[in-house]
């Protein structure tokens, strides 16, 4: 009887079977895709939240750094205070002024010192990366790197103190620069202590250059 029923309805049964398989497969694919879409949406949202938090943290850190630089400018009666950083973060190819504060009427060095190939100022970069302190009271005599010297002269720099900035691993991530357009008499030891304290605050919160 069953054989006869199957024989008489073979085409209908096979068709129904394939329809059932197709329906189950479609339902599974739809469910699977829906789950993947939800996971993708979740990951995107998490990345957005993390990015927003990173930006907010960087903004707070930049505000703190600017505060430190303004204090340096006024405590030391300096004309400029700025930070130079190598970039990109994991493959240093260029050197740029990232953050800067200037006394009123003093032109910004950031307009001059941007995206300078490190290979063009290799001598200066080597000194900045390996020396905790650099002092220049006479740019023409003390700065041996000719490209760096020309940039400093173009910016009108006359008296410069440079403090190395390092990350938690001790790797160079930039330099804090305090300078004057006209040389001034100052207590170098007292100034070093003030600059050092600001550098210690800045270096562990300094975000990579954009």
92 in a structural domain: yes
Number of domains composing the chain: 1
Average of per-residue pLDDT across 187-205 = 92
> Is 199 inside a domain boundary?
yes
Task: Please indicate, yes or no, if residue 112 is contained in any of the structural domains.
Answer: yes
Compare 25 and 88 and report the one with higher pLDDT.
88
CA–CA distances in Å: residue 85 to residues 63, 101, 105, 177, 184: 17, 15, 25, 11, 26
Give the residue-averaged pLDDT of 178-188: 87
User: Is 177 part of a structural domain of the chain?
Assistant: yes
Range of the domain at 194: 53-203
Strands 80-87 and 133-136: unpaired
Q: What is the pLDDT of residue 58?
A: 77
CB-facing half-sphere around the CA of 64: CA atoms within 13 A = 16
Strand partners, 166: 172
Residue 38 belongs to some domain of the structure = no
Is pLDDT at 33 greater than 90 in this prediction?
no
pLDDT, position 8: 56
Strand partners, 100: 82
Mean pLDDT of the chain: 85
pLDDT at 45 over 70: no
Tell whether the model's pLDDT for residue 2 goes beyond 60. no
Alpha-carbon distance of 78 to 25, in angstroms, equals 74
- At residue 193, does pLDDT exceed 80? yes
User: Quick check: is 45 in a domain?
Assistant: no
pLDDT digits 0-9 by tens, 65-84: 999 999 999 999 999 999 99
Chain-centre distance for alpha carbon 28: 45
Both tokens of residue 185? Answer: 């008499």
Inter-residue contact 107 to 182 (CB < 8 Å): no
> Who contacts 88 (Cβ-Cβ below 8 Å, separation ≥6)?
94, 208
Domain containing 180 — which CATH number? 3.30.450.40
pLDDT tens sequence across 134-174: 999 999 889 999 999 999 999 999 999 999 999 999 999 99
pLDDT band at 13 (very low <50, low <70, confident <90, very high): low
Is 210 a member of any domain?
no
Residue 136 domain flag? yes
């Amino acid at each position: 009887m069953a054989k006869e029923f199957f024989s008489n309805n073979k085409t209908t049964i096979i068709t129904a079977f394939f329809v059932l398989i197709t329906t189950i497969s479609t339902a599974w694919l739809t469910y699977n895709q829906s789950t993947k879409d939800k996971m993708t949406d979740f990951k995107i949202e998490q990345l957005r939240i993390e990015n927003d938090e990173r930006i907010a943290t960087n903004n707070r850190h930049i505000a703190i750094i600017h505060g430190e630089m303004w204090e340096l400018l006024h405590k030391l009666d300096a004309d400029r205070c700025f930070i130079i950083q190598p970039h990109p973060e994991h493959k240093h190819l260029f050197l740029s002024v990232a953050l800067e504060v200037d006394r009123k009427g003093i032109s910004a060095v950031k307009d001059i010192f941007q995206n300078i190939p490190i290979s063009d100022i290799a001598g200066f970069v080597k000194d900045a990366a390996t020396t905790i302190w650099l002092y220049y009271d006479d740019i023409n005599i003390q700065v041996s790197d000719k490209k760096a010297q020309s940039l400093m002269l173009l910016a009108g720099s006359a008296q410069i103190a440079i403090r190395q900035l390092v990350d938690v691993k001790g790797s160079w991530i930039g330099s804090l620069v305090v300078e004057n357009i006209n040389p001034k008499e100052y207590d170098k030891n007292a100034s070093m202590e003030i600059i050092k304290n600001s550098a210690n605050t800045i270096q562990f919160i300094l975000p990579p250059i954009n």
